């Protein structure tokens, strides 16, 4: 990304990089819970039984949604803290 | 008191509540009309977003959609919730920081281009209008089912109700009525689900009950519910509930729904109503909490209702005699009268056999043809006949004299609608389902209508046609646009174009291919310039439309499709409903290439992007 011109360089850049790192990490978990455990990796998890079926089925119908919830609240908590740490909060 | 009277009373009371809120929450300024004065508490906004998002289809049809297909349709659950993760991290906080009123306004300012803004308005209107047609017809159907009025009258009543609170209150009125509508719809959805889960598994939380053992008195005591359901369905010749197929296509469809969800303008603008950037982040989380209450319950409702209806028809198990036609429960007759259930005693044995007769019918057709048809060879014909003759369901049907499935109509909506009666709950719970279905349709319709009317009054009239319009006149223009949008939506609901059934796929595909990538690049990639964004949006829109039209007909007019809509013709096997992510990739690629070849983004726009990325100063942007 062409992050060139800015006067508030160092702090603004650090804050944005930290935000991007957080987004990358959380989106990997997001994809792993839904596309991974819920769909493509389901055969690999078929040995783990949950309520008469396998873990992949549980992830597809319940688990992924619960993971999404945790991800959004974690992001909100973490970013609101980063805002204060970098002095860019409202 | 009969059920219809009770339904009318409960639905009537809910309308009184919505009108009361509308009078209390009148909009006095454009900021209130477009963004509820940016004073909405993040939890309240989360609740309103949930009602905005969950349509009549989510409420009435989704459980059935999952229950009839089983595992593969988990795509809807993951897709329609996973999009909120994208929205929370990639769009909502930054667009709130930008602090304007509409989605095209951000695109127009960020890409310093009226053309880009107009293309965004076109995309927004196509997406929202196609979506709102489904809501208006859904409201009509909900009325006609519960209140014994025709669906035309139902649609007109629904329009009149929306008219009152949307024209009067704008976003402010819509927000607070959506909160009330959320409460009505979630109570209506969960009460029957809790009782059914208790009856079947002893667990009061439906999402946990789905993975619990059957409790005493239901047959199969101590066996997991899903094992019982899988067993019943395979014995009747249906696919196993928990087994899936084509995982890559399922993943692509899930992705399409996720990106589409994140790109739907009527949901995005809800995040403009909270006071701060940090509130927009929390609010996305709360929205998903309130959505998850229904979405975690829906798969349980679907599986349990399918199990209940199957055991109602096979009270002594599949190995024994089916239910006698004159012993069907009362609710069966009630719903047969609406045309959502229908039985026909084909073999005249006085009993109703419900099973999958697909193979039996195929075999009968092959035998009647007395030889191969089309490009089938004799050997293929013989082996198919032999295969079908040894199919366990065909064998069983032959032995027991079944002449076809006798549950001839089994509408998917029944899995939600008949739940209170299956669980033997009192009449007021049935009335609540009526109010809930109507609330779900009204809340989504109102949100869509606001997105359409603000794009017209703010992006077209204020920006392109008459920039000097006064605040007071713009508010009037917003109200007139809202009234116009309601009239148009009502007319389209009464005369649905032939493509109504395809429209949801279109809305999601287009949102995924046009608005989501452009908004995301506007925030995350400074070098994307006016030419790149405009070309990218057009590429995404046009490519997606072309792909849909190729299989579904030009502008969805039946018979004008260039290729038959089946798997053999699809490009790389991708069905038109799954095309959103491909359109999005085209949008990204074209935007990058064109931006690389044209003049770089001016410095003041780069500074704008910098400021959007940082929460500080959102308060100032409020005074617009």
Domain boundaries, chain A: 14-85
pLDDT at B624: 41
> Considering CB atoms only, which of A23, A27, A65 is closest to B292?
A65
| Mean predicted confidence (pLDDT) in B374-401 | 89
The per-residue pLDDT for B61 is 84
Nearest Cα to Cα of residue B70 among B234, B290, B276, B265: B234
Q: ∠ at Cα B504 (B489, B133), nearest 5°?
A: 10
Name the closest residue on chain B to residue A73, using Cα atoms: B285
Average pLDDT over residues A5-13: 54
Query: Are the C-beta atoms of B283 and B42 separated by less than 8 Å?
Result: yes
Query: What pLDDT digit, counting tens, does each position of B146-178 carry?
Result: 777 887 888 898 899 888 888 888 899 999 999
| Residue B503's pLDDT band (cuts 50, 70, 90) | low
Q: How big is the A-B interface in CB pairs under 8 Å? A: 162
Residue partners of B54: CB distance under 8 A and separation at least 6? B185, B291, B294, B440, B443, B444
Per DSSP, the three-state class of A49 is: strand
B609 Cβ contact partners less than 8 Å away, ≥ 6 residues apart: B110, B522, B523, B526
Domains of chain B, first to last: 43-304+423-622 (1.20.1730.10)
Which stretch of DSSP H or E encloses residue B352? strand B351-352
**pLDDT tens-digit profile of B393-411?**
999 898 888 999 999 988 8
- The residue-averaged pLDDT of A55-83 equals 96
- Smallest CA-to-CA distance from B120 within B514, B549, B613 is with B514
Which residue on chain B is closest to A35 by alpha carbon? Answer: B251
Positions of E strands within B213-339: 323-324
pLDDT tens digits along B540-591: 999 998 998 888 777 767 677 788 877 788 888 888 888 999 999 999 999 9
Query: From residue B575, how far is each of A52, B276, B536, B548, B564 by CA, in Å?
Result: 32, 41, 22, 9, 11
pLDDT tens-place string over residues B228-257: 999 999 999 998 888 888 899 999 999 999
Task: Indicate which of B609, B615, B618 best probes the interface with A, i.e. most A CBs within 10 Å of its own CB.
Answer: B615
Max Cα separation, chain A? 60
Cβ atoms A76, B278 nearer than 8 A: yes
What single-letter DSSP state applies at residue B213? B
Q: With 80 as the cut, is the pLDDT of residue B292 above it? A: yes
Q: Answer whether B288 sits within 8 Å of A42, measured CB to CB.
A: no
β-pairing, A49-50 vs B351-352, is unpaired
Which pLDDT belongs to residue B65?
87
- Residues B69, B360: Cα–Cα separation, whole Å: 20
What number is the ipTM of this complex? 0.92
Contacts of A23 in chain B (CB under 8 A): 89-90
Other Cβ atoms less than 10 A from the Cβ of B352: the count is 23
Task: Identify the bridge partners of residue B352 per DSSP, sorted by sequence position.
Answer: B323
- Whether residue B63 lies within 8 A of chain A, CB to CB, comes out as no
Assign B509 to helix, strand or coil.
helix
Contact B279, B44 (CB under 8 A): no
H/E element, B126? helix B114-147
Assess whether pLDDT exceeds 80 at residue B338: no
Which residues partner with B409 through β-bridges? B342
| Tokens (6 digits) for A35 | 């596309």
Q: How far apart are alpha carbons B608 and B503 in whole angstroms? A: 36
End-to-end CA gap in chain A: 26
How is residue B623 annotated by DSSP? -
Is B295 near chain A, with CB under 8 Å?
yes
Q: What is the model's pLDDT at position B48? A: 96
As given in the structure block, the two tokens for residue B280 are: 């927009």
Mean of the per-residue pLDDT values for chain B?
Answer: 89
- In B203-353, where do the E strands start and end? 323-324, 341-343, 351-352
When pLDDT is cut at 50, 70 and 90, the band that residue B28 belongs to is: confident
Nearest by CB: A40 against B89, B212, B251: B251
């Amino acid at each position: 990304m062409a992050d060139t011109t800015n006067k508030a360089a160092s702090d603004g850049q650090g804050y944005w990089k930290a935000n991007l790192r957080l987004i990358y990490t959380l989106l990997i978990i997001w994809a792993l819970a839904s596309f991974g455990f819920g769909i493509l990796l389901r055969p690999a998890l078929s040995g783990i039984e949950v309520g008469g079926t396998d873990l992949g089925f549980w992830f597809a119908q319940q688990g992924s949604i619960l993971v999404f919830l945790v991800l959004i609240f974690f992001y909100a908590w973490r970013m609101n803290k980063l805002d204060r740490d970098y002095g860019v909060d409202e | 008191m009969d059920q219809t009277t009770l339904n009318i009373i409960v639905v009537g009371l809910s309308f009184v509540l919505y009108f009361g809120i509308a009078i209390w929450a009148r909009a006095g300024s454009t900021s209130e009309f477009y963004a509820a004065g940016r004073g909405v508490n993040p939890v309240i906004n989360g609740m309103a977003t949930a009602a905005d998002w969950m349509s009549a289809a989510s409420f009435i049809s989704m459980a059935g959609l999952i229950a009839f297909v089983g595992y593969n349709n988990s795509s809807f659950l993951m897709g329609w919730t996973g999009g909120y993760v994208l929205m929370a991290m990639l769009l909502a906080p930054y667009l709130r920081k930008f602090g304007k009123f509409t989605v095209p306004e951000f695109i127009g300012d960020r890409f310093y281009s009226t053309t880009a803004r107009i293309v965004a308005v076109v995309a927004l209107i196509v997406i929202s209008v196609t979506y709102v047609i489904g809501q208006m017809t859904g409201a009509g159907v909900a009325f006609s089912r519960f209140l014994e009025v025709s669906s035309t009258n139902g649609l007109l009543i629904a329009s009149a109700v929306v008219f009152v609170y949307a024209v009067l209150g704008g976003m402010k009125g819509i927000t607070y009525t959506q909160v009330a509508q959320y409460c009505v719809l979630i109570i209506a959805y969960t009460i029957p689900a809790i009782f059914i889960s208790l009856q079947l598994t002893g667990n009061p939380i439906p999402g946990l009950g789905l993975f619990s053992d059957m409790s005493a008195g239901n047959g199969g005591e101590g066996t997991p519910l899903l094992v019982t359901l899988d067993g019943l369905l395979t014995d009747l010749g249906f696919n196993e509930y928990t087994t899936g197929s084509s995982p890559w296509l399922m993943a692509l469809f899930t992705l399409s729904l996720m990106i589409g969800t994140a790109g739907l303008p009527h949901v995005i603008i809800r995040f403009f109503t909270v006071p701060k950037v940090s509130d927009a982040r929390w609010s996305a989380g709360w929205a998903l909490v309130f959505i998850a209450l229904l979405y975690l319950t829906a798969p349980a409702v679907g599986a349990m209702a399918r199990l209940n209806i199957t055991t109602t028809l096979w009270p002594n198990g599949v190995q024994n005699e089916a239910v006698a036609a004159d012993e069907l429960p009362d609710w069966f007759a009630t719903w047969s009268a609406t045309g959502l259930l229908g039985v026909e005693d084909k073999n005249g044995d006085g009993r109703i056999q419900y099973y999958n007769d697909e193979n039996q019918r195929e075999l009968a057709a092959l035998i009647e043809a007395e030889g191969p048809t089309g490009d089938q060879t004799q050997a293929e014909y013989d082996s198919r006949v032999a295969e079908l003759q040894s199919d366990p369901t065909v064998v069983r049907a032959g032995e027991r004299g079944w002449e076809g499935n006798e549950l001839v109509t089994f509408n998917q909506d029944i899995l939600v609608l008949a739940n209170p009666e299956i669980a033997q709950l009192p009449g007021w719970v049935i009335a609540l389902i009526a109010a809930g279905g109507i609330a779900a349709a009204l809340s989504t319709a109102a949100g869509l209508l606001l997105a359409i009317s603000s794009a017209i009054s703010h992006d077209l009239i204020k920006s392109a046609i008459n920039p000097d319009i006064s605040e007071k006149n713009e508010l009037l223009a917003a109200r007139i646009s809202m009234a116009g949008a309601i009239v148009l939506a009502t007319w389209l609901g009464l005369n649905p174009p032939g493509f109504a059934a395809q429209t949801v796929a279109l809305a999601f595909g287009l949102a995924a291919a046009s608005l989501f990538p452009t908004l995301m690049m506007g925030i995350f990639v400074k070098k994307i310039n006016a030419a790149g964004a405009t070309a990218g949006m057009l590429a995404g829109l046009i490519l997606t439309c072309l792909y849909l039209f190729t299989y579904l007909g030009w502008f969805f007019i039946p018979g004008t499709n260039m290729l038959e809509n089946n798997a053999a013709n699809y490009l790389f096997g991708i069905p038109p409903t799954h095309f959103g992510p491909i359109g999005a990739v085209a949008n990204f690629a074209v935007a990058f290439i064109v931006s690389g070849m044209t003049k770089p983004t001016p410095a003041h726009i780069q500074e704008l992007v910098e400021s959007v990325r940082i929460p500080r100063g959102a308060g100032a942007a409020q005074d617009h």
